[in-house]
Amino acid sequence: MGPAQRKGETLSNGDKRGPLGFRASGIGDLRHRSNSLVPFLQSPHLSFNFDRTRDSADAPGLRFGGFGGVTMPAADFQGLSAPFASTGRSFLSLRRDHAAHPMDAHHRHHIDAGEQREFDAFQRQVADLFNDLAGGGDEILSIPWIRRLLDTFLMCQEEFRVILFGHRRPPALIDRLVSDFFERAVKALDVCNAVRDGVDQVRQWRKHLEIVLVTLGPGHRELSEGQLRRAKKALGDLAILMLDEKDAGSVISHRNRSFGRNSGSSSSSSGRRSHFRSLSWSVSRSWSAARQLQAIGSNIAAPRGHEVVETAGLAVPVYTMNSLLLFVMWALVAAIPCQDRGLQIHFSVPRSYLWSGPIMSLHERIVEESKKKDRKASIGLLMEIHQIEKCVHHLTDLMDAAQFPMADDKEMEVRQGLQELAQVYEAMKEGLDPLERQVREVFLRIVRSRTEGLNCLNGAE
């Protein structure tokens, strides 16, 4: 891990890729990955309380060069996630207390036993959460299921944060473990950005679904040839966009889209390819989701006995979070359209871990889903994407075979297909925005956790 950022340090505006050209202090050496912050912090849905007066070493925060050196105080950043604000004292304060009040051997043994109980409770909690996820009523890889997966990850991460910041051991024993986890977490930021782009891409498909539903809606007593022609064109355009997403990854990586909308580009000539534009500069042209997953999962191995002893047990929860981070990012890439998707990763958890059973079961189910004949060529395993593909193909076949005037039974088939399409449309309309907010929350928590961790390790030194 590179040198940690010092408290209150302000970085120069050296990032040329981002539209705002800023970097964040306290996040450490993100190198080229600093661009991961841009699309999430540009969102009009986020309510940042920028304080132009607080700019001192006593108020560390995120500094944005694009806003003329505006600093977002750490207190404001903490307000983005309620669970963080209620955790209690920081890791740094705990270490200072430990240094100021040395414990005798009996007291230290008592604390060790308490920490071990905390570690065991964390393992049980992870197992319970993933058991619920594996046996819940939501169909795997549906939008509701993905949202539950992200909620589960956020809860596990918060519990891990409490353990990490309360672990009273010399930094030398845990620095390598913590540094390794944070490096993997930084790599996950680009995955969050790519997934965010994929969610927005799926959102763009709703425009074509709306055309079909309005054109052939229940307000029309009879379906005319002109109506079917217009609806068929919208379905054809949507099918092309979905094929383009699979076959033109290098083009999609240039989408210039942020959480806002470009109000100046609404001409009909650009509408059909609006999904290829980008304002976010999320990932580079050569970025690959498959390679990023491999980097996140590189050298993840269950700790050996001596490693557990040397780290006073902390190696176990760190390994747990490394595995959860890899699984969650892999599941997101599997479900959501991403640049250069790939599911070929090595993922294995020893059976001795309580959460091994449910998480390996979920992994196997997702792999089996990807091997199904009708899913192999899909741009994403999200259940709603599969439903869109089926509805588009079914309605297109019905319209191709339609003859006018339409027979009553044929018209009934078309209307039934429209009902199925409307259900998918409503599911996307209700679920995509909350899903995007959850992905953004994962992003922000990773950033904040790494910032806190580096500051704590520096302070402990």
Encode pLDDT of 28-86 as tens digits.
Answer: 344 344 444 444 444 444 433 333 333 333 333 333 333 233 333 333 333 333 333 33
- pLDDT tens digits for range 311-368: 888 999 999 999 999 999 999 999 999 988 888 888 999 999 999 999 999 999 999 9
Structure tokens of 264?
Answer: 């100046």
Q: Is residue 197 part of a domain?
A: yes
How remote is the C-alpha of 17 from its chain's centroid? 22
- pLDDT tens digits for range 98-151: 333 333 444 344 447 878 899 999 999 999 999 999 987 779 999 999 999 999
Residue 392: give the domain boundaries. Answer: 126-461
Q: Is residue 338 part of a domain?
A: yes
Residue position matching structure tokens 């588009």:
392
- The domain tally of the chain equals 1
- Where residue 185 falls among pLDDT bands split at 50, 70, 90? very high
Q: Is residue 11 part of a domain?
A: no
Give the C-alpha separation, 200 to 184, whole Å. Answer: 25
Q: Is residue 459 part of a domain?
A: yes
Residue-wise DSSP of 390-406: HHHHHHHHHHHT--SSP
Which of 344, 398, 399 has its CA nearest to residue 371?
Answer: 344
Q: Which residue has the higher pLDDT, 437 or 115?
A: 437
Residue 97 has pLDDT above 80, yes or no: no
Residue 308 has pLDDT above 80, yes or no: yes
Q: Is residue 77 part of a domain?
A: no
Contact between 38 and 91 (Cβ < 8 Å):
no
Q: Is residue 235 part of a domain?
A: yes
Q: Is residue 322 part of a domain?
A: yes
Q: Is residue 209 part of a domain?
A: yes
Contact between 196 and 39 (Cβ < 8 Å):
yes
Give the C-alpha separation, 100 to 77, whole Å. Answer: 30
The amino acid at residue 168 is R
Contact between 141 and 429 (Cβ < 8 Å):
no
